[in-house]
């Protein structure tokens, strides 16, 4: 099932975390020259680390890379039984996809990167800085997908109080691209339960294309050719009883959806 929502939608599916990250990127673009020279050296100019278990560049996949994956143009997302796939829109462009599986979700977003340099180390610092400036808490740890950020992101609650949304930011540098994942729900509350989401991230294929792109530009996605729109408010499947995200997140909201029968 496909769902479509604006990039600045509610806190569901890690939306609040995404807003914090966007703010961090804006701060970095506007004030990079103002960084204290005595601060901890930034992890830049490092070549991409090996990726023996993925994610994959399309040139690295033997056979047809679309087999068993949903073709979103810039990324090919592995299909898993029972999953819901939502796309996220910035203006008229689709820039991210979120796989929802049970009480967990992983948002996937691919960016252009320098040819010989990885950017995940630097991006982690920017994300951590943006979240801590908002009053959140960050823990950098080495997980199954490499170095990641485990964050408590402040989010507004319906009663006006401030809660915390638990999310994990993961990332992998590839050849001229960078793939970021934001794991939310039980996959962030209990990282040991996120095995399927982590495997989806590993099995994702990035199709950057050969055209020139500025580093950090999002790799634009597209809808599958056989996708069908479902009018807003139409329920195509029932939500599992008790299916709720942990970490202060409510039940998933449905927007206009696009469904694919697999």
Is residue 45 domain-resident? no
Q: Which domain holds residue 12?
A: 2-31+53-259
Write out pLDDT tens, residues 44-60: 567 788 888 889 999 99
The confidence score (pLDDT) of residue 44 equals 59
pTM of the shown model: 0.73
- Write out residues in the chain with pLDDT < 70, as ranges: 1-45, 226-262
Let me know: does 187 contact 193? Beta carbons within 8 Å.
yes
Tokens of 109: 């977003």
Write out pLDDT tens, residues 87-108: 988 888 888 999 999 999 999 9
The confidence score (pLDDT) of residue 176 equals 94
Is residue 46 domain-resident? no
Closest CA to 171 of 216, 135, 130, 129: 216
CA 204, CA 65: separation in Å to the nearest integer?
Answer: 10
Let me know: does 99 contact 106? Beta carbons within 8 Å.
yes
Tokens of 96: 């991210």
Is residue 42 domain-resident? no
The confidence score (pLDDT) of residue 121 equals 93
Tell me the CA distances in angstroms from 146 to 38, 51, 78, 131, 132, one per residue in order. 27, 10, 20, 20, 22
CA 220, CA 112: separation in Å to the nearest integer?
Answer: 10
Is residue 41 domain-resident? no
Angle between the 120-133 and 15-31 helix axes, to the nearest 10 degrees?
A: 110
The confidence score (pLDDT) of residue 9 equals 39
CA 186, CA 103: separation in Å to the nearest integer?
Answer: 6
What is the domain count for the chain? 1
Write out pLDDT tens, residues 124-154: 999 999 999 999 999 999 999 999 999 999 9
Is residue 186 domain-resident? yes
Is residue 234 domain-resident? yes
Calculate ∠ Cα 105-106-111, nearest 5°.
155
Those residues with Cβ within 8 angstroms of residue 127's Cβ, 6 or more apart along the chain or in another chain: 20, 21, 24, 138, 149, 151, 169
CA 223, CA 39: separation in Å to the nearest integer?
Answer: 43
Is residue 47 domain-resident? no
Let me know: does 229 contact 254? Beta carbons within 8 Å.
no
Is residue 44 domain-resident? no
């Amino acid at each position: 099932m496909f769902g479509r929502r604006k990039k600045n939608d509610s806190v569901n599916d890690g939306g609040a975390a995404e807003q914090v990250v966007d703010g961090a990127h804006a701060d970095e673009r506007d004030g990079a020259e103002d960084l204290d020279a005595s601060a901890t050296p930034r992890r830049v100019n490092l070549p991409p680390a090996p990726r023996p278990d993925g994610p994959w560049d399309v040139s690295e996949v033997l056979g047809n890379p679309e087999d068993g994956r949903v073709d979103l143009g810039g990324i090919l997302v592995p299909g898993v039984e029972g999953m819901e796939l939502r796309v996220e829109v910035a203006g008229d462009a689709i820039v991210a996809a979120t796989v929802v599986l049970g009480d967990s979700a992983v948002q996937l977003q691919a960016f252009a990167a320098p040819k010989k340099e990885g950017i995940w180390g630097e991006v982690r610092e920017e994300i951590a800085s943006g979240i801590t400036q908002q009053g959140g808490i960050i823990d950098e740890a080495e997980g199954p997908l490499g170095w990641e950020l485990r964050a408590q992101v402040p989010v507004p609650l319906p009663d006006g109080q401030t809660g915390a949304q638990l999310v994990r930011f993961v990332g992998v540098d590839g050849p001229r691209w960078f793939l970021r994942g934001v794991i939310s729900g039980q996959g962030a509350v209990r990282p040991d339960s996120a095995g399927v989401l982590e495997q989806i991230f590993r099995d994702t294929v990035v199709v950057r294309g050969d055209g020139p792109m500025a580093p950090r530009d999002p790799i634009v996605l597209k809808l599958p050719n056989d996708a069908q729109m479902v009018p807003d408010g139409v329920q195509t499947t029932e939500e599992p009883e008790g299916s709720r995200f942990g970490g202060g997140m409510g039940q998933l909201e449905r927007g206009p959806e696009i469904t694919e029968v697999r």
